């Protein structure tokens, strides 16, 4: 597509020959996705192209973010002493926790980075940044004397991949009209989440393949881990190049200065952040920890060659959870987001009980099935909680508009901006919940010699979250900003 800079910017619906008014550096100065004529003739093609490259870059962010979940299971075989013996599980939980906390922290600044640097520039940077931990890990694995602190630093650098989700979602939201935004963001989110499953399927296969060409001793495993770390480098280079040459930045993609403070002062931002800990936090936390848990509870699986090559089927959990997310959003449209979220938390508590039952019976099939059920429910919950957020803010401002005589059109526009600001914070807090979950497992194992108490605490917390959902969003006496009508809305 030939990008032509025009001055002045065309009037809405004008028949300009370019897809939009551009200036140097692929900045779009004129963008009107809500104009049907503009969207059909010019906007749709540009938006879809940006979505495609955004999904690819975000997917790679998740690939790298979750990389340690597989690598730690093989580091003991590679001769790293801190990953052998009684300390192995605890050190593994530390290494897989660091990327989660870093990714959670970065989600807030990454949300606003797009407005400052542009979608094209920041997507290129965030994709290229993934080269640092992958190449760094390849160097670290090649040295048998590499201390644990080096791997902790590199784990923190893989956490940058977790921040990519927020910048990608913020960027794509500016390209699509409101009527298309939900589907576009769903595709973007699912494409990223699938990166967890792809890594947990691909990395064991890459390691097993590399071991075919070398001795299966400590040096051989170090070679295999080096290959696994470098595996993503070509894809990262393609993603960064594609973002720089094919993506665009929208000059008008600037949030208003009022929405963020309002969203932060709204108690429902923090209530939903708490609930999102239970859905997305569980998805992230258990996705990272699942391979380590399998190795800890069922060590005999390491003697089954094809199971090891497939990562003991750990990838299945993240795979079904990713596909369940858009399904959860769709189902929430039918039955109501709050109602579905309530049953999600009840289901998560029951899934934890099933997991504990499988451990008592020492049944790997039941354990795997229980966790697959848990991942499906977290995926559904991710979709249903995201469905609730815009409806809650919409209900809040509707009542405010009615009581204070504010224009309903302006009020609803404000609700959309506040919901967008809240989503960035809610996403960050939810990811932080994954870190808390992993640390609870580790501390329970260190101080009590078992992770069972942590699992039972999760079951109780999920029931508390179900109660919070009912109290604020389901009971008939519920009032958000004194608006009782929301109790009967499809929230």
pLDDT tens for residues 449-471?
888 999 999 999 999 999 999 99
Residue 394, pLDDT above cutoff 50 = yes
User: What is the band of 301 on the pLDDT scale with cuts at 50, 70, 90?
Assistant: confident
User: What is the band of 400 on the pLDDT scale with cuts at 50, 70, 90?
Assistant: low
| Enclosing domain of residue 77 | 38-254
pLDDT mean over 168-190: 81
Q: What is the pLDDT of residue 404?
A: 65
304 and 445 co-located in one domain: yes
Residue 24 belongs to some domain of the structure: no
Residue 274 belongs to some domain of the structure: yes
E strands, 130-198, are: none
User: 249-250 and 27-28 as β-strands: parallel, antiparallel, unpaired?
Assistant: parallel
Residue 25, pLDDT above cutoff 80 = no
3-state SS, residue 249: strand
Q: What is the pLDDT of residue 11?
A: 44
Q: What is the pLDDT of residue 155?
A: 96
Residue 39, pLDDT above cutoff 70 = yes
Which of these three, 207, 233, 254, is where a domain ends?
A: 254
208 and 286 co-located in one domain: no
231 and 262 co-located in one domain: no
Which of these three, 196, 221, 254, is where a domain ends?
A: 254
Number of domains within the chain: 2
Mean pLDDT over each residue of the chain, to the nearest integer:
84
- Min mean pLDDT across 97-111, 238-252, 293-307, 434-448 is at 293-307
Give the distance, in angstroms, between the CA of residue 182 and the centroid of all CA atoms in the same chain: 16
- Residue 469 to residues 305, 340, 343, 346, 385: CA-CA distances in angstroms? 45, 10, 10, 11, 10
Residue 489, pLDDT above cutoff 70 = no
Torsion of CA 303, 283, 247, 414, to 10 degrees: 180
Whole-structure pTM over 0.75, yes or no?
yes
User: What is the band of 232 on the pLDDT scale with cuts at 50, 70, 90?
Assistant: very high
Residue 486, pLDDT above cutoff 70 = no
- Min mean pLDDT across 105-109, 183-187, 454-458 is at 183-187
192 and 274 co-located in one domain: no
Among candidate residues 155, 20, 172, 147, the one with its CA nearest the CA of residue 82: 147
Q: What is the pLDDT of residue 4?
A: 35
Residue 160, pLDDT above cutoff 90 = yes
Residue 299 belongs to some domain of the structure: yes
201 and 346 co-located in one domain: no
State the Cα–Cα distance between residues 111 and 101, nearest whole angstrom.
16
State the Cα–Cα distance between residues 249 and 50, nearest whole angstrom.
9
User: 22-23 and 27-28 as β-strands: parallel, antiparallel, unpaired?
Assistant: antiparallel
Residue 25 belongs to some domain of the structure: no
What would the pLDDT profile of 312-346 be if each residue is shown by its tens digit?
A: 577 888 888 888 888 888 888 788 888 999 999 99
pLDDT mean over 258-287: 88
Percent of the chain, pLDDT > 90? 40
pLDDT mean over 44-68: 94
CATH number of the domain encompassing residue 443: 1.20.1250.20
335 and 461 co-located in one domain: yes
189 and 269 co-located in one domain: no
Residue 365, pLDDT above cutoff 50 = yes
Residue 5 belongs to some domain of the structure: no
233 and 368 co-located in one domain: no
Percent of the chain, pLDDT > 70? 85
Residue 11 belongs to some domain of the structure: no
Residue 143 belongs to some domain of the structure: yes
408 and 291 co-located in one domain: yes
143 and 225 co-located in one domain: yes
103 and 229 co-located in one domain: yes
Tell whether omega for the bond before 150 is within 30 degrees of 0, i.e. cis.
Answer: no
223 and 273 co-located in one domain: no
Neighbours of 2 (CB within 10 A): 7
Which of these three, 236, 254, 272, is where a domain ends?
A: 254
């Amino acid at each position: 597509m030939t990008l032509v800079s025009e001055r002045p910017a065309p009037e809405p619906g004008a028949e300009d020959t370019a897809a939009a008014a551009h200036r140097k550096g692929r900045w779009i100065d004129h963008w009107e996705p809500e104009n049907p004529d503009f969207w059909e003739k010019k906007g749709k093609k540009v938006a879809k192209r940006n979505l495609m490259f955004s999904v690819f870059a975000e997917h790679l962010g998740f690939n790298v973010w979750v990389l340690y979940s597989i690598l730690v299971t093989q580091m003991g075989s590679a001769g790293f002493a801190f990953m052998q013996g009684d300390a192995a599980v605890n050190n593994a939980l530390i290494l897989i926790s660091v990327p989660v906390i870093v990714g959670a922290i970065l989600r807030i600044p990454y949300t606003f980075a797009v407005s400052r640097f542009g979608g094209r520039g920041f997507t290129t940077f965030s994709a290229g940044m993934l080269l640092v931990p992958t190449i760094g890990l390849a160097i670290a694995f090649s040295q048998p004397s590499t201390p644990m602190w080096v791997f902790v630093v590199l784990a923190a650098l893989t956490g940058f991949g977790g921040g990519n989700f927020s910048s990608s979602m913020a960027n794509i939201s500016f390209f699509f009209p409101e009527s298309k935004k939900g589907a576009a963001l769903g595709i973007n989110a699912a494409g990223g989440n699938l990166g967890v499953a792809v890594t947990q399927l691909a990395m064991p296969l890459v390691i097993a393949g590399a071991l075919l060409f070398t001795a299966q001793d400590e040096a051989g495993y170090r070679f295999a881990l080096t290959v696994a770390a470098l595996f993503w480098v070509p894809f990262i280079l393609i993603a960064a190049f594609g973002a720089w040459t094919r993506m665009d930045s929208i000059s008008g993609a600037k949030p208003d200065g009022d929405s963020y403070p309002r969203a932060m002062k709204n108690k429902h931002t923090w209530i939903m952040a708490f609930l999102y800990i239970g859905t997305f936090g569980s998805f992230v936390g258990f996705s990272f920890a699942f391979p380590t848990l399998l190795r800890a509870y069922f060590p005999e699986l390491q003697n089954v060659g094809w199971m090891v090559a497939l990562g003991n089927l750990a990838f299945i959990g993240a795979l079904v959870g990713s596909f369940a997310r858009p399904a959860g959003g769709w189902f929430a449209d039918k039955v109501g987001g709050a109602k579905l979220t309530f049953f999600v938390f009840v289901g998560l508590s029951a899934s934890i009980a099933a997991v504990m039952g499988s451990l008592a019976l020492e049944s790997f099939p039941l354990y795997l099935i229980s966790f697959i059920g848990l991942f499906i429910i977290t995926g559904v919950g991710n979709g249903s909680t995201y469905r609730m957020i815009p409806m809650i803010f919409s209900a809040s401002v509707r009542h405010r508009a009615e009581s204070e005589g504010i224009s309903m059109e302006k009020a609803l526009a404000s609700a959309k901006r506040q919901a967008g600001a809240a989503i960035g914070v809610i996403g960050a807090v939810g990811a932080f919940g994954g870190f808390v979950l992993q640390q609870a497992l580790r501390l329970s194992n260190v101080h009590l010699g078992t992770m069972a108490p942590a699992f039972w605490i999760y079951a109780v917390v999920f029931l508390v979250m179900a109660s919070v959902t009912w109290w604020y969003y389901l009971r008939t006496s519920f009032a958000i900003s004194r608006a009782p009508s929301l109790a009967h809305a499809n929230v």
